Amino acid sequence: MHGSAISLIELGAVFFGLGVLGRLAWRIGVSPIPLYLLGGLAFGSGGLVPLEGIDGFTDIAGEIGVVLLLLLLGLEYSAAELVTGLRRSWLAGLVDIVLNAVPGAAVALLLGWGPVGALAMAGVTYISSSGIIAKVLGDLGRLGNRETPVVLSILVFEDLAMAVYLPILTALLAGATLLGGLTAVGVSLLAITVVLLVALRFGRYVSMIVDSPEPEVFLLRVLGAALLVAGVASQLQVSAAVGAFLLGIAISGSTAENATKLLEPLRDLFAAMFFVVFGLNTDPKTIPPVLGFAIGLAVVTTVTKIATGWFAAKRQGISRLGRARAGAALVARGEFSIVIAGLAVSTGAVPDELAALATAYVLLMAILGPVAARVVEPVARAVQRKTRPAV
């Protein structure tokens, strides 16, 4: 068989396999992300069967996956929603950062991965998966619940936090000094402010550049603009992901909605590729040594996310049952934890064990999150019944 035939067969097998895994995941009511990761782990370095000849394609496909994940995250909320979200939920957002970033950072320091490793792990345990959470809330018919706006505004805040966090992480991973790090903070704060202002005032002009009534032209323009911005951002040492994310925020209104509809299938395709590549590059043998830490982190950060949701919902005058639901809904971690880990590991500035720990952690949390959201109500009711004195 000649080269391209083997590549096609391998790629076809990978996509078809992912399709089967995805179907299985939705059947049993969990996110497909952990299964994609497991699929990647099974092959590639240290896995059962090494895949050869397609790594050139899978690597770039994974990169495009990250760009699309962040572009659609940016498209998800309008600039106005981000600003009101920031104004309404900044206190809950700060509690969220402190409670959920600290456990990750502490474990990284304990393992001797240094301050940069600590910053990366802080991000991994902090960021909830808005994709999994939105899906679970919809599936459970909780969109109309009173605590749901609280959950969503925390996700909006996390979204903004990512815009500040990613450039800092990128700068520090590239080996910047403390001064360089502070400059990166300044630059990223300035960039996000400028983008928000532009999006609020001149959003329709940015939208006009990419908009077109022909779906085909529109798709090519949005995708082209995203890859261009991502590439330029990457060249300027502000990660590609951040560039795509800021572009997503700047595109607004109906253009953003249409772009989301068009790009969703592409994102799903390339993001699946990204998870597989991440799994491929992670040696399964590195996971058992860090599994204990991953389980510990999973337990601690499940509790801290529930506490975050409880606190935020309580401030809005939601009843105890609603507070428990808000907390449990936030537990899921997924795509963005892997994006952060991928960013960190690819620069070589942190040990490879970080990839193993992040993989094990996300495997646990992406499964635990939807389960927690489902079982919280019966559990909370049972607890209420027990604590209520018998009449």
| Chain contacts with other proteins (rule: CB under 8 A) | 76-77, 81, 84-85, 130, 134, 141-149, 152-153, 155-156, 257, 261, 318-319, 321-322, 325, 377
CA–CA separation, 157 and 160 (whole Å): 5
C-beta separation of 228 from 61 below 8 A:
no
Q: What is the nearest approach in angstroms of other proteins to the Cβ of residue 143?
A: 5
Nearest distance in Å: CB 160, other proteins: 11
Residue with tokens 């502000």: 238
We find the least distance from the C-beta atom of residue 325 to other proteins, in angstroms, to be: 7
120, 175, 183, 185, 191 from 178: Cα distances, Å: 16, 10, 9, 11, 20
- Find the shortest distance in angstroms from Cβ 78 to other proteins: 8
Q: How far is the CB of 80 from other proteins (least distance, A)?
A: 9
79 vs 108, beta carbon nearer other proteins? 79
The C-alpha atoms of residue 114 and residue 176 are separated, in whole angstroms, by 14
- 101, burial (CB in 10 Å: exposed 0-12, middle 13-18, buried 19+): buried
CA-CA distance, 387 to 84, in Å (whole number)? 38
Q: Which is nearer to other proteins, 121 or 326 (CB)?
A: 326
Instruction: Yes or no: say if 51 and 61 are a contact pair by the CB < 8 Å rule.
Output: no
Choose between 261 and 285: whose C-beta lies nearer to other proteins: 261
Residue pair 31/332 in contact (Cβ under 8 Å)? The answer is yes
Beta carbon of residue 382, minimum distance to other proteins (angstroms, whole number): 15
DSSP state of 128: -
For the chain, give the number of residues.
391
Residue among 142 and 305 whose Cβ is closer to other proteins: 142
